[in-house]
Structure formats: structure tokens, C-alpha cells
Amino acid sequence: MKHLSRIFTVTLVALIVAAAWSPAQAQRRRSNAKPAAASKPKQQEASAPMDKYNGLAEKLREKAQLFTVNGVKFTMIQVEGGTFTMGATPEQGGDAWDIEKPAHRVTLSSFSIGQTEVTQELWEAVMGSNPSRFEGAKLPVEYVSWNDCQVFIEKLNALTGLNFSLPTEAEWEYAARGGNKSQGYKYSGSNNLDDVAWYDGNSGRTTHDVATKRANELGIYDMSGNVWEWCQDWYGWDYYSSSPSSNPTGPASGSRRVYRGGSGLNSAGGCRVAYRSGNFAGIRYNYLGFRLAL
């Protein structure tokens, strides 16, 4: 593979947990992952992930995987699988729309999700360019379409030998709700949106460096607010009526792709963990980005 000659490193940290759960994860959807890269990473002393607010650093030490690609570091958080209620649960209140109904039980296998939105420095390390309208290394990349994200992921996978993707809509919502550590909040990590999100009430009409608000129960940042986040699924208005209960991946076809979480341009209702939106796969705008899954 020609990319192997390029200068890059991939480092997994905290293999204690990874050793236990990687096989199931690989079986789930990673048929073309390179086992050598995944199972024999260079081991280093674990460094605590960013977590300056809620004291979860020690617990998260075993739950974080640190990667370095072309000199840029990023962290993936391991999310243990489980069963949760997706959609218009009671704490979503009167803000919930019909497309969030019916609330329904979903069971997910374990997966990993980005601790932060994909930053501009990571995008540039992989793509060699930066499309963002608000510029800054630690700002989330934006002005990227769903199609652009697929190109980025393909290149990242070639560099790492791994099999990153966008999260499914169900994975996104489960992680936003705190997985099996969920406290049942309306927004990702709190019932007080100012604690955890950049939205229209505090953003000043710009994006903000990732991980500058408090993390959620799993140590994941900005799932509510800052930039919207593309998911892999087609956007199905009535999908919740027929969704399979195990690892749903969205409708088989559609015209739009899902994005989630609201942004610095949105009111609080759009930043709820159950709120759903989406648009055509070629659409770009300056409050629309993504985070990775693995």
C-alpha cells in the first residue's frame, strides 16, 4: 500500500479495554480493517484525555484511544454497547417533533466515537486543505458536505489501515445521551444548555474551539451545539415506526442524510439529544461538520 511509505504514526493508548472489546467491534462492521495496525499498536503510557471540568479523567483513561495522523492527535472514546430509548423520551418535553416519535428501544453493539468534532487541523492533516469559513486549528471543520466527509474518511482509513466512518444516527444519539452512564439529560451532558453547548444564546455567531464546554457523561464534547454533525444514515421521516431494534442503520434509501446536535446558530430546542435534521449529501455550510466513529 503506497501510503505505508508516508510519514505517519498511529498510536492506540489504553489497550486494557481495547483487548476485551475489539473483536466484537471488528465483527460489527470492520471487515476491511487491517488487523496488524489494530492489534499491534505501539504502546505508550496512557495520557489522560482532555477533561478539565468533571473529574472523569481517571475513569476515561481506560476508555480513550489516542491516534496521531501526520502529526495531529485526536481521541476516540469507547462506548460500551447497551439498550436505550431513542427519540421523544419524556425529558425532551413539548419541544419534541413528530419525527422524533415513537420513542423506541434500540440495542447497540460497542463502538468508538470522536471525543470532539473533527477539527480543522485534523482535516488539513488528512486532506491538505481547509474549507472552513471560521478558521482556527482547534475549531471544528465546517463547510463540509456528507460527500466530502466520505472522501476524508477514505483517506484517513488509507493512512491508518483502520475503518473509521460516520456514526449511525442511533450511535450518535446513544453517545449524546451518555450511553450506559446516561443521567437522562435533555441536552448532551446537562439540562442546562449553557453548561455544555455553544448555541445561539452564547455563541456570538461563530464556532468555538472544540472541548471548551463541559463534557457529557462519557467524556464527549459538543454533541449539543457548536456545529451540526453528519451521520451515516439516510434521513427517514417515519423511520422510527419501523426501525429494527438492533443496530439500526437507517432507511435503505432516501434523498437526504441525517445530521444531529444543533449548532451555534440554533436555539436550545435544536440542540436536544433527540432532535433530528438532515439535508442533501452535497450541501455545505459554515455550521455543519461531523465527528468520527470506529
Count the residues of the shown chain that bind Ca ion, applying the rule CB under 5 A. 3
Distance of CA 70 to the CA centre of its chain: 21
Q: Shortest gap between Cβ of 114 and Ca ion (angstroms)?
A: 10
- Which position among 22, 115, 226, 232 is part of the footprint of Ca ion (CB under 5 A)? 226
C-beta closer to Ca ion: residue 153 or 176? 176
- Which position among 87, 236, 261, 278 is part of the footprint of Ca ion (CB under 5 A)? 261
What x-and-dash track marks residues 11-50 binding Ca ion by CB under 5 A? ----------------------------------------
- Contact between 216 and Ca ion (CB under 5 A)? no
- Contact between 248 and Ca ion (CB under 5 A)? no
- Contact between 81 and Ca ion (CB under 5 A)? no
The residue assigned the cell 505508550 is: 44
**Among the candidate windows 24-32, 94-102, 232-240, 260-268, which touches Ca ion by CB under 5 A?**
260-268
- Contact between 222 and Ca ion (CB under 5 A)? yes
Which long-range contacts does 148-152 make (Cβ < 8 Å, 24+ apart)?
148/284, 149/230, 149/290, 151/127, 152/118, 152/123, 152/126, 152/127
Q: Shortest gap between Cβ of 278 and Ca ion (angstroms)?
A: 15
C-beta closer to Ca ion: residue 217 or 222? 222
- Contact between 189 and Ca ion (CB under 5 A)? no
The residue assigned the cell 428501544 is: 105
**Among the candidate windows 29-37, 61-69, 125-133, 218-226, which touches Ca ion by CB under 5 A?**
218-226
- Contact between 173 and Ca ion (CB under 5 A)? no
- Contact between 148 and Ca ion (CB under 5 A)? no
- Cα–Cα–Cα angle for 156, 161, 163, rounded to 5 degrees: 70
Applying CB under 5 A, the residues found at the interface with Ca ion are 222, 226, 261
